[in-house]
Structure 1
Amino acid sequence: MVPLSLSKPVNTLLLPLPSKKLPFCCVCSSKSSDMEKGIRGGQRLMEFPHLSAPHKDLMVSLISAFETRLDSHLLPSLVPPDVEYYQNHSGTSQGTLLIRPGIVSSPIDFILASWLHLELPTGGAMNITNLQGYLKPSTDAPHFQFELVQCNPTYLIFFLDLTPRKDLVLYPDYLKTFYEDNKLEALRQQLDQVSEIKPYFSSSLHFRSVVSPTGILVSIKCTGDGAQRAGEIIRDNISHVANEVMEIWMYNCVCRVRDIGDYERAQLEKRDRLIKSKAIEMDLSSSLPMQFGQEVADRVLEVIKGAFNI
């Protein structure tokens, strides 16, 4: 359930972070008691009741890292309780949503985290987990996008990207600064070495048009003792790459100061809004009512649209 959600196309242990400190602008001021309580205003989010242990460990570690290291940038979540956790009438599908907006002086617009557990008509269930970081138009640095979809215990789809906010042909320095210099292609290629991981091609050309050249969009299909092998890949491969890309975003995007003129700021606002609006139109507006009913979907969409400013 994200602007670049894979949930519609699909239907057709993070290692501890290193101890190095972020630049001052990213240092978290939260106390250890805040860390113990988990993500503020999103207790249900951190439960992840339907995930395998490696998948849950990955999400808890990613979200905790966002929370503790960016906390000084963020306001508490304002998501109402009936959207923080929601379900369909039969209780077979559930979801959570947390959105924490950035403080006025922060380059962060908001972070969004969620999970969805969807019972499928054909039997079984799908679990979708995601985490996103959106920046304000006061900077042109990329957004952070992570989504891991468990279609079944042995088949997953993984999306990870720093999504560009400029045309990479018109702005080659942008390509060099955020993608070449950060060696994101080398991280993408690491997953190519795992035999069970293959490229995944979304059916949405719009989705494919907004992903960066180094964006990771792959499927993981395991045979034999597939569930155990899928967990190993999450723990040993996906977690490492996700950790590295998250570090790059925090150090080299959130904390990078770039001068933005009025015209460029207006263009960034327009581009961001169009992408978010298109995602809601193409995916959430149809999938949420089908999965949760119109009343629940309307509540959730209202909160998301408010955060997206559309």
Structure 2
Amino acid sequence: MQALSLSPPLLTSPPRSLRRKSSNTFRAPRMDRHARISSLFPPLLHRDLALELASLMESRLGSDLLPSSVPDNIRSFQNQSGASFGSLDIRYGAPGSSVDFLLESWLHCKVPTGAIDITTLLVYQNDSTDAPHFNLEFIQAGPTSLVLLLDLIPRRDLSFCPDYIDTFYQGTNVDKPRQDLEKLPQVVPYRSPSLYIRSIWSPTAILVSVNCGEGGAMQMEEIIKGTVASAAKEVLGIWLERCVGTGTGTEMGEEEQEYMIRRDRVVKSKSIEIDLSANLPRLFDPDVANRVIAEIQKACAR
């Protein structure tokens, strides 16, 4: 799980505590994703791009996804001052789908250095296929700084499965978007402080930090609209075309499938421990953070 890859230097002290909202008997109809996110969060180009990608994903998956059942107090939450707020939504895969669940996380948080915006789109697959999971995350700490984490997360030990590499990485040319991004002078590699987290990425993962320097907000906009958007759409397109649905994976024996299932469970639980449990309470009141984490743990334990 890479739902919240937070950088420690940005989190030197916690924001103010979050206040529980009182529950009302009347519940207004749920807004669609674009209206809900646009009403909750300040406009950002990376968020607009993520909304476009989420819509493309949802349109392609269609009946593979069940309607959301996430409670309203998790689909939107905020701290007492209203300066920090977030939204989490999870949609499970329908019977017969290769999708386990689709997770969307949207955060805007006040931190001592200003504000940090974190947007995550994550799709975990189930054991009907060994095709990679999909992971996209934007971490933006200002108008001229952006971290992009984009990958088709492998579900096999690649050193033992050269055919898997050929099928999902070499044969799809998924490494080209990474190469294109790393040609930009504003782009440098990003390294997670967690060695465990680093170990789950594929060899073609796009793990970069885009830094445009003082006064480079317009340049950042051009990069997001251009190379970043192109890379994200290309990788998502490859995943939707080559990794979704029954029959998309490589052949597995019973022992291989059991090993993959155990591996998926470890990756999910360990990533929650490293990313969410350690960092979300530093951004929001522990009670609210625990409620959000519990919803994600429920999805990962299926």
TM-score, reference length from structure 2? 0.88
The size of the alignment, in residue pairs, is 281
The 1:175/1:257 distance shift into structure 2, 3 A limit, reads closer
Alpha-carbon displacement from aligned partner over 1:25-56 (angstroms, at most 9, x marks no partner)? xxxxxxxxxxxx744xx85235462242x223
Name 1:294's counterpart in structure 2: 286
* Alignment match of 2:57 (pick from 58, 63, 66): 66
Aligned pair 1:306/2:285, yes or no? no
Deviation at 1:282, TM superposition (A): 1.2
Q: How many Å separate the matches in 2 of 1:75 and 1:305?
A: 18
* Alignment match of 1:178 (pick from 156, 168, 178): 168
Q: How many Å separate the matches in 2 of 1:214 and 1:94?
A: 33
Deviation at 1:92, TM superposition (A): 2.0
Alpha-carbon displacement from aligned partner over 1:36-87 (angstroms, at most 9, x marks no partner)? x744xx85235462242x2232012101101111111000011100000011
Q: Does the CA-based 8 Å contact 2:136-2:149 persist in structure 1?
A: yes
Name 1:11's counterpart in structure 2: 10
Name 1:56's counterpart in structure 2: 47
Aligned to 1:169, the other structure's residue is in SS state helix
Deviation at 1:281, TM superposition (A): 1.1
Alpha-carbon displacement from aligned partner over 1:103-125 (angstroms, at most 9, x marks no partner)? 01000001111111110123x10
Q: Does the CA-based 8 Å contact 1:3-1:275 persist in structure 2?
A: no
Q: Does the CA-based 8 Å contact 1:4-1:207 persist in structure 2?
A: no
Name 2:117's counterpart in structure 1: 127
The 1:210/1:145 distance shift into structure 2, 3 A limit, reads same
Q: How many Å separate the matches in 1 of 2:254 and 2:43?
A: 45
Q: How many Å separate the matches in 2 of 1:61 and 1:202?
A: 27
Q: CA RMSD, aligned part only?
A: 1.8
Name 1:268's counterpart in structure 2: 260
Alpha-carbon displacement from aligned partner over 1:232-284 (angstroms, at most 9, x marks no partner)? 11100100010000010011001315444332222111111111111111121
Alpha-carbon displacement from aligned partner over 1:182-219 (angstroms, at most 9, x marks no partner)? 11122210002211111111111111111000000001
Aligned to 2:218, the other structure's residue is in SS state helix
Name 2:239's counterpart in structure 1: 249
* Alignment match of 1:206 (pick from 196, 199, 205): 196
TM-score, reference length from structure 1? 0.86
Aligned pair 1:150/2:149, yes or no? no
The 1:4/1:289 distance shift into structure 2, 3 A limit, reads closer
Name 1:108's counterpart in structure 2: 99
Q: How many Å separate the matches in 2 of 1:140 and 1:126?
A: 34
Name 1:30's counterpart in structure 2: none
Code of the residue aligned with 1:298 in structure 2: it is: N
Alpha-carbon displacement from aligned partner over 1:271-302 (angstroms, at most 9, x marks no partner)? 11111111111121121222111110121111
Name 2:127's counterpart in structure 1: 137
Q: How many Å separate the matches in 1 of 2:288 and 2:221?
A: 32
Deviation at 1:224, TM superposition (A): 4.6
* Alignment match of 2:229 (pick from 232, 236, 239): 239
* Alignment match of 1:217 (pick from 207, 224, 230): 207
Code of the residue aligned with 1:110 in structure 2: it is: F
Aligned to 1:279, the other structure's residue is in SS state helix
The 1:171/1:10 distance shift into structure 2, 3 A limit, reads farther
Q: Tell me which moved more, 185-194 or 221-230.
A: 221-230
Name 1:166's counterpart in structure 2: 156
Aligned to 1:266, the other structure's residue is in SS state helix
Q: How many Å separate the matches in 2 of 1:261 and 1:9?
A: 42
Percent identical:
43
Code of the residue aligned with 1:213 in structure 2: it is: P
Aligned to 1:69, the other structure's residue is in SS state helix
